[in-house]
Amino acid sequence: MTAVLCRHFGLKHIEIAEDIASDTFLKASEHWAMNGVPDNPAAWLYTVAKNKTKDYFKHISVFETQIRPALKPGEHEKEKELEFSDQIIADSQLAMIFTVCNPNNPPEGQICLALQILCGFSVEEIANAFLTKKETIKKRLQRARTNLRNDNFRIRLISETEIRSRLDTVLKTLYLLFNEGYFSKTNNQLIRKELCSEAVRLALLLTENLLTDTPQTNALLALMCFQSSRLEARTNHKGETVLFEAQDKSLWDKSLIEKGNYYLVNATNGNEISTYHLEAGIAYWHTASTGEKKWPHILQLYNQLILIEYSQITALNRIFAFAQVYGREKAIPEAEKLNLSESNYYHELLGYLYAELDIDKAVDHYKQAINLTRSKTEKQTLSKEIERLKEKNGR
């Protein structure tokens, strides 16, 4: 909705489009609570948004004094009728993704802005995705929005060169969007399926466009499909985390695994191996029914991934795979070399590694992880594991 409205207002006045979209959903929450959800909710929302836009053009003097003079002759007349057809919505979203990811802003600013505008992320959610402070994100967003307003960007068709130069940032944005859904650090929810679904939908849009249907795009979509296939099995009926080894494989979505295989094959139509290729390969082996034979392949892929793009999470995941291949005892010194004492994931990993070797140390690490995480669901899962270990130890 915001993307289509910005075709009329231009990104210089993006706040107007966002306000109309917000008002539309506010009206829906009030009207639907009294009268029930309409048969076609999307059509109802778009109709209200269209009417609110018409009212704005009629009654708000800002349009006459600030926007109209900036429009080129005939431009307003050409776009006077606001439409929300499927094609316009898809085209607007795709165009807006690439317009927001503008090189006039640094990459971090582009991604922050895209996550907020296109994905509805809060400042806290963006801060979690970047593992940084909220104040830092607020400053990035303010600078990025100012740059867009000052340059008066409009949603439009952009050149092939511009698309190719911005695609990496767009893919990174979708990657972070999916990750926040797959392992959420906010709202006391471990999984936010709506974010995973939105990331997949936007990635599909990219594969349907000749200029953006690249091996990297297909690799990212393959990764999303493989990961999404296990969403139903990652929590139990109480909302508690179910570790990979204990997941009910009958709950895995085989159709999504097949789609993952399809897009992974498509991703091989080139010579480049990206981080998305390697992560999709890791996710593929997780869904493959090869038992313990899969872990050497997974470890090999992590070894390649960490050389291309180091991150704390990749390093910790690699240690987990290392433990599956060489045993927990050999993995412990490898993990301790990382010395990520401020990370809850680090202590969770050490808790897991010590669980069969030294229960007291395992419990101590799990307690440190509980103190470091902000996720209520994660705290509950770790507390449950501590109780299990204490019972095992006869306490």
Domains in the chain: boundaries: 294-395
Residue 285 CA to residue 164 CA, distance in Å, equals 30
Dihedral angle over CA of 22, 28, 31, 32, nearest 10: -150
Residue 93 CA to residue 137 CA, distance in Å, equals 23
Whether pLDDT at 77 is above 50: no
Whether pLDDT at 126 is above 70: yes
- 186-205 pLDDT tens trace: 555 667 788 888 889 889 98
Q: What whole-number percentage of the chain has pLDDT above 70? A: 84
Residue 65 CA to residue 249 CA, distance in Å, equals 62
pTM value is: 0.75
CA nearest neighbour of 196 among 288, 204, 209, 86: 204
Least confident of 17-26, 98-107, 223-232, 306-315: 98-107
CA atoms within 13 A on the CB side of 386: 18
Least confident of 85-99, 132-146, 188-202, 291-305: 85-99
Q: 43: which 2 tokens?
A: 């059509």
Beta bridge partners of 235: 241
Rg (CA), the chain: 24
**Mean pLDDT value across the chain:** 84
- Segment 318-326 shows an average pLDDT of 96
Q: Quick one: pLDDT at residue 173?
A: 83
Is 107 strand, coil or helix? helix
> Which amino acid, 329?
E
Residue 259 CA to residue 343 CA, distance in Å, equals 34
Write phi, then psi, for 34 (nearest 5 degrees).
-90, -35
Q: Quick one: pLDDT at residue 103?
A: 75
Whether pLDDT at 369 is above 80: yes
Residue 75's pLDDT band, with cuts at 50, 70 and 90, is very low
CA atoms within 13 A on the CB side of 139: 5
Residue 297 CA to residue 318 CA, distance in Å, equals 11
Q: Quick one: pLDDT at residue 220?
A: 97
Superfamily for 294-395? Answer: Tetratricopeptide repeat domain (1.25.40.10)
- Segment 33-57 shows an average pLDDT of 88
- 136-186 pLDDT tens trace: 999 998 888 888 776 655 555 667 787 888 899 889 888 988 887 887 665
CA atoms within 13 A on the CB side of 201: 11
Residue 332's pLDDT band, with cuts at 50, 70 and 90, is very high
Residue 296 CA to residue 319 CA, distance in Å, equals 12
Whether pLDDT at 355 is above 90: yes
Q: 111: which 2 tokens?
A: 């991604």
Is 235 strand, coil or helix? strand
Whether pLDDT at 74 is above 60: no
Residue 264 CA to residue 261 CA, distance in Å, equals 5
